Amino acid sequence: MLRRTGFKRPERPAKVPVLLQPLVQPVNYARISANDAGPAVAKENPLTCEAYRELVRAMPCMHCGRGPRSQFCHGDQGKGMGLKTDDRTGWPGCGPDLATNAPGCHWLIGTSGQIPKEERRALEKKYAAQTRAAVLASGKWPKNLPLWKEIA
């Protein structure tokens, strides 16, 4: 037997039909005028050379000496969103050790934040100079890649 309650349910309001009308003028949510844009930043044209990067990858890690294969590490000086650095400022750094699951020197120096910025930039500059000197001393400097100003 179903018993009724003494409370009356509230009535739901009637649904109002939505009238769809085409837009008279399209909406432009991201309108930016030329006057609102910031000043254009002149970008350097960094040199890239796959042959040089491959030579650097064949070297042992510049930080800990683990090798023989390394990752090519770009220096952070001058890097930014959409900006790359010159390959001649790169150096070899080891990647993660898969056996021990330990991060490599590439992560330690570039990403971890454990090394202060000024110290990291000094390390990168030193390692890049040592890398350029080692490639030049080996006689394998790519013919189409100009020498770095410090070496020339």
* Number of separate domains in the chain: 1
Q: What is the mean pLDDT of residues 27-45?
A: 64
Domain contains 95: yes
Q: How far apart are CA 38 and CA 47, in angstroms?
A: 27
Domain contains 48: no
User: Phi and psi for 73 in degrees, rounded to 5?
Assistant: -105, 120
Report how far apart, in Å, the C-alpha atoms of 8 and of each of 2, 3, 4, 15 are.
16, 13, 10, 21
Cβ atoms < 10 Å from Cβ of 131: 22
Domain contains 5: no
Q: What is the pLDDT of residue 152?
A: 45
Domain contains 70: yes
Q: What is the pLDDT of residue 139?
A: 92
Q: Please tell me the pTM assigned to this model.
A: 0.66
Domain contains 60: yes
Query: Which residue range forms the structural domain that includes residue 71?
Result: 56-137
Q: What is the mean pLDDT of residues 8-24?
A: 82
Q: What is the pLDDT of residue 133?
A: 93
Q: Give per-residue pLDDT as tens, 56-100.
A: 999 999 988 887 788 999 887 767 666 778 888 899 999 888 888
Q: Which of 40-54, 78-92, 104-118, 131-145 has the highest mean pLDDT?
A: 131-145
Domain contains 87: yes
Domain contains 100: yes
Which DSSP helix (H) or strand (E) runs through 136? helix 117-137
Q: What is the mean pLDDT of residues 132-139?
A: 93
